[in-house]
Amino acid sequence: MGARVAMVNARGVDLSVTIGALKLDYPTLMGSGCYGSGEEFAPFVDLARIGGVVLKSVTRLPRLGNPTPRLVHTPAGMLNAIGLQNPGIEWYLDHEVEKFANRPCAIIGSVAGFSVDDYAYVGERLAARAEIDALEVNISCPNVASEGETFACDPHLTAEVVRAVRGVTDKTLIVKLSPNVTDIASIAREAEAAGADALAVINTVRGMAIDVERWQPRLGNVTGGLSGAAIRPIAVLAVYEVARAVKIPIVGQGGIETASDALEFLLAGASAISIGTANFTDPQIPVGIAAELMLYLQQRNLRSLAQIVGKANVGFANAYQYEGDEG
Amino acid sequence: MATAASSAAIHHAFILDRQELAPGVVLLGFNAPELVRMTVPGQFVMVVPPSGESAAVALGIYEASEGRASVLFFVVGKRTAKLAALREGDVISLAGPLGNGFTLGAARDVAIVAGGVGIASVLLAAQALVRAGARVRLYYGARSSVSLVERERFARHGCEVHVATDDGSVGHSGYVTELFGRTDEPPDLILACGPTPMLRAVARIAEEMNVPAQLSLEETFACGVGGCWGCVVPLAGTSAQAPSFPPPERDGSDVVYARVCKEGPVFWAHELRW
Ligand SMILES: Cc1cc2nc3c(=O)[nH]c(=O)nc-3n(C[C@H](O)[C@H](O)[C@H](O)COP(=O)(O)OP(=O)(O)OC[C@H]3O[C@@H](n4cnc5c(N)ncnc54)[C@H](O)[C@@H]3O)c2cc1C
Ligand SMILES: Cc1cc2nc3c(=O)[nH]c(=O)nc-3n(C[C@H](O)[C@H](O)[C@H](O)COP(=O)(O)O)c2cc1C
Ligand code: FES
């Protein structure tokens, strides 16, 4: 992973986080699909000062993605319907993955698919590459006709997919859950039981916008996924509920724009956070958030983020975090 | 396009001047020497709005000389309204220069077609062409004379200016493409920036004239740097500007999506599939 600048200051505040076997120098991941391969943002932010990049989701076969328009700006957020445009795993391995070598932050591959078999295949091929530090399993894309999100909406399918990918790699497995379900905690429990090392909570919230002049949906795909500040309370609640249901770490996400937003997720029970849409406003936001988190800990004489994880969550079940260093 | 940015960066700039050129049309000048040094005609910046918005605003780089750059924009929504409220001395952050600009080559007789705010993306090209000794004709259209801003400046810079307004308040009454389509002196290169229907009309005229045309497209952006695939337009799978993936033959399609922010915003008209 190359030389990293650990953000441990003179007074010993440590922002590093461990998720399964994955060590992050900063608790900040960049959300899948929002950050390309990291390369696109490198001119604007020092990648050594973020925890890691979750790559854009990749499928077994190439996908053209959804028709345009694919983006709509909405109050306090945006709708997107990219539709998993990607070159397919073979091309990805041959042409893209080598670019991730020597990145100064963690690189997390994102696996998508339309069958259990797809997930296992893509997961195995990706995880076999040394450039990939961990896997995120995207069972929750709301923008592909029918199948994509079905996995995250059905506890049995969730378990099957997670078991299948677990069976092909020992690398850290993060399973990304959908908010578009009745009971996210039950899905989380299945994912944990099936071998997930961590959960990413949440993917985008289904939404729609209509053009009142043309009397037509604004997105080429009709519906899309809502992200940004608009979904933050939904995401904080999801983290709160999932944190009471499982013992594995949670990567909280959904509308994080400031350190205060990040703290809400940590206090609800997330061990790390992910930032997507806020990078579109200002790519330096993740670095600012990390710096402010450090200051927050310092001012309270705390040494590590583990000491605040879940502190606002009364029924917090995350023993992993409770055992964190209270020093 | 051939003229890719050599590098881009985040710039924190002081607003040097602010003018309201017409109601809701704002010109913001700022000091950004490095940006000015790197910019080629047709590139854009992502400007961070003052607070709490979910994305930066894509704006063409209007002027770039002697350390000062400017953007010219219409107030159409929340983010542009926030930018319009900035004053002299305020600090703005912007990322750029981004995207691939116009390829001017050795063109000697160039027609520039600009619609509405499209004018903001063509001044640098016009200046460079005039400087290189080319004849430059600007065909400039707007809803009405009020929003037909800056035409005197193009004239001062040595362009022949032809105007059209939808309401007929000045110049040709009707679309700017009608005006341009009537010329019996085909140029050797066409550059255009404006609303999509105008660009389609320009593409058609260019084909009839058998003159190459470069169109600067506008799409809704999220990242503006090629990271999200939200801003795509369909190109022929064999296009020179198509991104290297997905390989079209494996997708069973002869179309690929190219990112307007990364492979564009300027595309050759004949490569677009719309
Ligand atoms: C490469 C590039 C260069 C550009 N250069 C310039 C430039 O130089 N100058 C310039 O002025 N612009 C330019 N633009 C366009 C500019 O980026 C957008 O107009 C700007 O982002 C609008 O932001 P906003 O938040 O103010 O408006 P938005 O809220 O994004 O609105 C944009 C448009 O959509 C309409 N709209 C949005 N939401 C709704 C809704 N719910 N119902 C009905 N209508 C709606 C608005 O009325 C408006 O017409 C450029 C765009 C690109 C891609
Ligand atoms: C443009 C865009 C594309 C996205 N693509 C993916 C994707 O390919 N895979 C995935 O797991 N999540 C994808 N997401 C979801 C984000 O990773 C993130 O979970 C979500 O946007 C919520 O976080 P945010 O509000 O900070 O953006 C995408 C989000 C956006 C805005
Ligand atoms: S706006 Fe993100 S790829 Fe163009």
pLDDT in tens, B260-274: 999 999 999 999 987
pLDDT of the residue at A315: 76
Of A150, A42, A326, A188, residue with least CA distance to B226: A42
**What is the number of the ligand 3 atom nearest to the C-alpha of A36?**
3
Of A294, B5, B55, residue with least CA distance to A308: A294
- Summarize pLDDT for A285-326 with one digit per residue, the tens: 999 999 999 999 999 999 999 999 999 998 775 544 444 444
Task: Please identify every stretch of chain B with a pLDDT value under 70, giving residue numbers as ranges.
Answer: 1-6, 246-252
- Summarize pLDDT for A131-182 with one digit per residue, the tens: 999 999 999 876 665 555 667 788 899 999 999 999 999 999 999 999 999 9
Q: Whose CA is nearest to atom 19 of ligand 1?
A: B76
The strand ranges marked E within B99-227 are 109-115, 135-142, 160-165, 172-173, 189-193, 213-216
Q: Is B224 helix (H, G, I), strand (E, B) or coil?
A: coil
- Token reading at A120: 């296992």
Interface of B with A in 246-265 (CB under 8 A): 246-247, 250-251, 253, 255-257, 262
Cβ of B55 closer than 6 Å to ligand 3, yes or no, is: no
| Residue contact B231–A71, C-beta within 8 A | yes
CA distance A235 to chain B (A): 16
- Look up tokens 């362009």; give the residue: B159
pLDDT of the residue at B255: 82
Give A275 Cα–ligand 3 centroid separation in angstroms. Answer: 16
Q: Strand pairing of A210-211 and A216-217? A: antiparallel
Q: Which ligand is nearest to the CA of A275?
A: 2
| Residue contact B48–A229, C-beta within 8 A | no
The strand ranges marked E within chain A are 17-19, 22-24, 28-30, 52-58, 71-74, 77-80, 106-111, 134-138, 172-176, 198-201, 205-208, 210-211, 216-217, 223-227, 250-253, 272-275
pLDDT of the residue at A252: 98
Active-site residue flag, A105:
no
How far apart, in whole angstroms, are the C-alpha atoms of residue A104 and residue B194?
Answer: 41
Cβ of A82 closer than 6 Å to ligand 2, yes or no, is: yes
Is the CB of residue B92 less than 8 Å away from at least one CB of chain A?
Answer: no
pLDDT of the residue at A9: 52
- Summarize pLDDT for B234-250 with one digit per residue, the tens: 998 778 887 877 655 66
**Amino acid letter, residue B158:** G
Contact B241, B267 (CB under 8 A): yes
pLDDT of the residue at B1: 46
Helix axes A184-193, A155-166, angle to 10 degrees: 30
CA distance A110 to chain B (A): 14
Residues in chain A: 327
pLDDT of the residue at B50: 86
Share of chain A above pLDDT 90, in %: 83
Helix axes A232-243, A259-268, angle to 10 degrees: 30
**What is the number of the ligand 1 atom nearest to the C-alpha of B220?**
53
Of A23, A42, A46, A28, residue with least CA distance to A290: A28
pLDDT of the residue at B41: 98
pLDDT of the residue at B6: 55
Phi, psi (degrees; rounded to nearest 5) at A88:
85, 155
Cβ of B226 closer than 6 Å to ligand 3, yes or no, is: yes
- Summarize pLDDT for A201-242 with one digit per residue, the tens: 999 999 999 999 999 999 999 999 999 999 999 999 999 999
pLDDT of the residue at A323: 45
Q: Whose CA is nearest to atom 4 of ligand 2?
A: A33
**What is the number of the ligand 3 atom nearest to the C-alpha of B260?**
4
pLDDT of the residue at B244: 72
- Look up tokens 């602010």; give the residue: B18
Helix axes A184-193, A232-243, angle to 10 degrees: 50
Q: What is the ipTM of this complex?
A: 0.93
Of B3, B209, B218, residue with least CA distance to B104: B3
In this complex, the residue of A70, A86, A283 whose CB is nearest that of residue B95 is: A283
Residues 6+ apart with CB under 8 A from A234: A179, A202, A205, A254
Cβ of A271 closer than 6 Å to ligand 2, yes or no, is: no
| Residue contact B219–A68, C-beta within 8 A | yes
Q: Is A127 helix (H, G, I), strand (E, B) or coil?
A: helix
